[in-house]
Amino acid sequence: MAQPRPKLPGGSAADKRTLPQSEKSRSCAFNRWCFDFSPHVGRIPPMMDRESPPDAELDLLAARLEASGDYRVLRRLRALGRSSAPTPEGTRIGLILDVETTGTDLQRDEVIELAMVRFAYTPEGEILGVEATFEAFNEPSKPISVEITALTGIDDAMVAGHRLDLEVVGAFVAPAVIVLAHNAAFDRRFAERLHPYFTTKAWGCTMSEPPWTEEGFEGLKLAYLAAHAGFFYDRHRALSDCFATLELLRRPLPRSGVTGLSALLAHARRPTWRIWAEDAPYERKTELKQRGYRWNGGDNGGLRAWSAEVADDALDTELSYLQAEIYGYPAEIRRKRLTAVDRFSDRAA
């Protein structure tokens, strides 16, 4: 004797009349789910469609996930474009730069990719839009190592036959009043070996000058900052890194409410002092490190000593600290006043 087929929650109206009350409740819940995501039998639900759903629908789904409190959604970065609004009086031109290199040795390693994004901004730090972009490979004199290829995604075949046109590079850089990089102490030194224009520009560091930690960010790597800000991007390609940096600078910081660029400019415009603790007693190295001093071994030029950068109004206090706590006598301490024109360069090392 044939067994009767079990009643399913998605059955006919006649089937539903035979279901117990608890089953009816489950059936209604099931049908509501079907109505939301697949109103027609055999139709692929929108979120599984082979074609991307409309942006508004994706934004709605993302908002529902975030509203639950159990999810955090990262959105793919959409590169900032040109502004169609009239350019305010006093608008300035900035440049975000990123280099990929064969290594970190300034004397032996070479640039293999250079990317730049030129943008317009107001003196108060509001980014108005992108003006132009530049991206080019450069074939080095030696093969690219396996480690660098794994890090950057760039191999010998990609750069073969490519040479940076330094005249084009110079013309692109010329209108900028400030050049920004995420870890400017690295990028600036390699850039200055490419073209003398880079030595004449003010520079800012998007990693060290905005107060990321004070604003609640954890970690200073570009990818960490982007994730905290709610977006992701194609990492380890120079132009993608530039656009990610621009987006971070464009947004208001979560606690102060000023833009990242505004905070950076405020720091970059202030003079600072580089102090070298030459011949400091070896047993004092832990104290110096805890106070923010860094050791320069002289491998890439610069003085072989512990050094730190302090604000203009903190110079006298720092000199007194070194004389009293580190040297124990009124030592002559080397120091140099820095501005954005020489900060992060070999001249400041």
| Res. 230: pLDDT tops 60 | yes
Question: Same structural domain for residues 170 and 130?
Answer: yes
Q: Would 329 be classed as within a structural domain?
A: yes
Question: Same structural domain for residues 321 and 243?
Answer: no
Q: Look at residue 54 in the predicted model and tell me its pLDDT.
A: 65
Check which CATH number belongs to the domain holding 213 and give it: 3.30.420.10
Q: Look at residue 149 in the predicted model and tell me its pLDDT.
A: 96
With cut-offs at 50, 70 and 90, classify the pLDDT of residue 318. very high
Question: Same structural domain for residues 110 and 245?
Answer: yes
Question: Same structural domain for residues 255 and 296?
Answer: no
Q: Collapsing DSSP states into helix, strand and coil, what is residue 303?
A: coil
**Tally of domains within the chain:** 3
Q: Look at residue 6 in the predicted model and tell me its pLDDT.
A: 45
Question: Same structural domain for residues 109 and 241?
Answer: yes
Q: Would 47 be classed as within a structural domain?
A: no
Residue ending a domain, among 268, 290, 316, is 268
Q: Would 108 be classed as within a structural domain?
A: yes
Higher pLDDT, 285 or 54: 285
Mean pLDDT of 224-229: 96
Q: Would 308 be classed as within a structural domain?
A: yes
Mean pLDDT of 117-146: 97
Question: Same structural domain for residues 252 and 315?
Answer: no
Residue 78 φ/ψ, nearest 5 degrees: -105, 120
Q: Look at residue 19 in the predicted model and tell me its pLDDT.
A: 41
Q: Look at residue 53 in the predicted model and tell me its pLDDT.
A: 55
Mean pLDDT of 201-216: 98
| Res. 55: pLDDT tops 90 | no
Mean pLDDT of 69-81: 93
Instruction: Determine the structural domain holding residue 121 and report its residue range.
Output: 92-268
Q: Look at residue 309 in the predicted model and tell me its pLDDT.
A: 96
Q: How far is CA 205 from CA 245, 326, 339, in A?
A: 11, 30, 13
Q: Would 73 be classed as within a structural domain?
A: no
Q: What is the mean pLDDT of the chain?
A: 86
Q: Look at residue 289 in the predicted model and tell me its pLDDT.
A: 97
Q: Look at residue 82 in the predicted model and tell me its pLDDT.
A: 86
Mean pLDDT of 30-47: 31
Mean pLDDT of 275-285: 97
Question: Same structural domain for residues 106 and 248?
Answer: yes
Question: Same structural domain for residues 255 and 297?
Answer: no
Question: Same structural domain for residues 154 and 187?
Answer: yes
Mean pLDDT of 234-245: 91
With cut-offs at 50, 70 and 90, classify the pLDDT of residue 115. very high
Q: Look at residue 28 in the predicted model and tell me its pLDDT.
A: 40
Q: Would 21 be classed as within a structural domain?
A: yes
Residue 174 near residue 198, CB atoms below 8 Å: no
Q: Look at residue 297 in the predicted model and tell me its pLDDT.
A: 87
* pTM for this entry: 0.81
Residues 142 and 156: their CA atoms lie apart, in Å, by 9
Residue 74 near residue 227, CB atoms below 8 Å: yes
Residues 27 and 41: their CA atoms lie apart, in Å, by 16
Beta bridge partners of 336: 274
Mean pLDDT of 198-219: 97
Q: Would 1 be classed as within a structural domain?
A: no
Question: Same structural domain for residues 184 and 276?
Answer: no
Question: Same structural domain for residues 126 and 30?
Answer: no
Question: Same structural domain for residues 98 and 188?
Answer: yes
Q: Look at residue 279 in the predicted model and tell me its pLDDT.
A: 95
